[in-house]
Amino acid sequence: MSDRYAVIGNPIGFSKSPLIHGTFANMTGQDLVYEAIEGPLNGFGERVDQFRTDGAKGLNITAPFKLDAFDYANELSESAERAGAVNCLKFVGDRIIGENFDGIGLVRDITVNLGVKMAGRRVLMLGAGGAARGALLPFLRQEPSELVLVNRTLSKAVALAEEFAGCGPLIVSGYAELADLAEGYDVVVNATSASLRGEMPPLPGNVFRGAELAYELAYGKGLTPFLQAARGEGVAKLADGVGMLVEQAAEAFAWWRGLRPSTAQLIAELTVPLS
C-alpha cells in the first residue's frame, strides 16, 4: 500500500499542497498518496488520531491548526519550539515529531531562488504575529547586520524581541519611527496579514529607498498595496510567498522521504504574475 500523507486545515479547498506534493512524488518516483483534510475546528486531535490509525506517515498543517499541532506533537524540533507553532508532523511508531519549515522555506526563497543575500544586510520585517515569529530565527541565522521588527501593536514586537534576545541583532520599532532611521533597508518583508484584506501597513514611503527586495508573504494576491508601494519607490525585485510555499513543502518532503525535489519549475508554474 502507498504511504499516506495529507495537509489539514479549515478551510482547505484552496490548498496547493496536494498539487505540490503530488508533483514532488512524480518527479522523484516516490510511491505515496497525499490528500487534503478539512479538520473540525474543535476536533483537531481526534481527526489526526484517526489519520494515524489509518496508517499515515506525515501531515502538513495550515491555518488554523499550527498551535494545535504544536500541542499534539510529543517531540519538537528547535525551529518548531522557537516558532511556537508546527507546520509539519512525522509519525514514527509512537513518536509524533513536530517541525516548522516556514521560516527556512522563506530564507531559501530569498537567498537561493531570488539570489538576495541576507548576511551583513539590513532587513526590515513587518508584523509580529505567527508568520513573523516563525521567520525570526532563520533570518537571524543568516547573520544580517540588523533585523528591525516593526509592528502596529508595539508591545507584541517587544515581547517577541525579548524571546529572541541573544539570537542576533534584533531591534524593535514602531511604524512612525521608521521614517527617522538614517539608513535604508536591503530587504523588506511583509509578514503582516494586511494584504489579505487589501490593506497597507502604515509604512513611511522612504523605507523602500535603496532596497533590493520587497517580499510579500501572502501569495497569489498579485500586486498587493505593499508591493505596489515598493514598486513605486523603485525596488527592483518584488516577490510573493509562492516560492516560500513550495520551498517549505520541499523541506517537508525531504524530511519525510529522504530526498529533496527540485523546486524551480513548480514555482514558475504556480507564480501569478505581479501586475
* Residues identified as active-site: 66
Count Cβ atoms below 10 Å from residue 176 Cβ, excluding itself.
11
Q: How far is the CB of 4 from ligand ATR (least distance, A)?
A: 28
Strands 88-92 and 95-99: antiparallel
Q: Helix %, strand %, coil % for the chain, to 5?
A: 40, 20, 40
Of 130 and 144, CB closest to ligand ATR = 130
Q: Does 129 bind ligand ATR (CB under 6 A)?
A: yes
Cα 107 from Cα 114, distance rounded (Å): 10
Of 175 and 255, CB closest to ligand ATR = 175
Q: How far is the CB of 55 from ligand ATR (least distance, A)?
A: 31
173-181: long-range contacts, CB 8 A cutoff, minimum separation 24: 173/148, 173/149, 174/150, 175/150, 175/201, 175/202, 175/203, 175/204, 176/202, 176/204, 178/124, 178/148, 178/150, 178/203, 178/204, 178/207, 179/204, 179/206, 179/207, 181/148, 181/207
Candidate ranges 27-35, 46-54, 149-157, 158-166; the one touching ligand ATR (CB under 6 A): 149-157
Residue nearest to ligand ATR (CB): 129
* Closest by CA position to 205, among listed 231, 170, 238: 231
Q: Does 128 bind ligand ATR (CB under 6 A)?
A: yes
Candidate ranges 49-57, 121-129, 136-144, 231-239; the one touching ligand ATR (CB under 6 A): 121-129
- Binds ligand ATR (CB under 6 A): choice among 58, 130, 225, 261: 130
Cα 178 from Cα 182, distance rounded (Å): 9
DSSP E strand boundaries for the chain = 3-9, 32-38, 56-61, 75-76, 88-92, 95-99, 122-126, 146-150, 170-173, 187-190, 213-216, 237-240
Of 116 and 160, CB closest to ligand ATR = 160
Count Cβ atoms below 10 Å from residue 3 Cβ, excluding itself.
16
- Binds ligand ATR (CB under 6 A): choice among 140, 147, 187, 194: 194
Of 129 and 168, CB closest to ligand ATR = 129
Of 171 and 259, CB closest to ligand ATR = 171
Count of residues near ligand ATR by CB under 6 A: 15
Quick note: the x/- pattern for ligand ATR over 206-245, rule CB under 6 A, is ----------------------------------------
Candidate ranges 6-14, 19-27, 108-116, 122-130; the one touching ligand ATR (CB under 6 A): 122-130
- Binds ligand ATR (CB under 6 A): choice among 156, 221, 231, 237: 156
Q: Does 168 bind ligand ATR (CB under 6 A)?
A: no
Candidate ranges 41-49, 150-158, 208-216, 230-238; the one touching ligand ATR (CB under 6 A): 150-158
3-class DSSP state for residue 110? helix
Binding site for ligand ATR (CB under 6 A): 127-132, 151-153, 156, 192-194, 199, 201
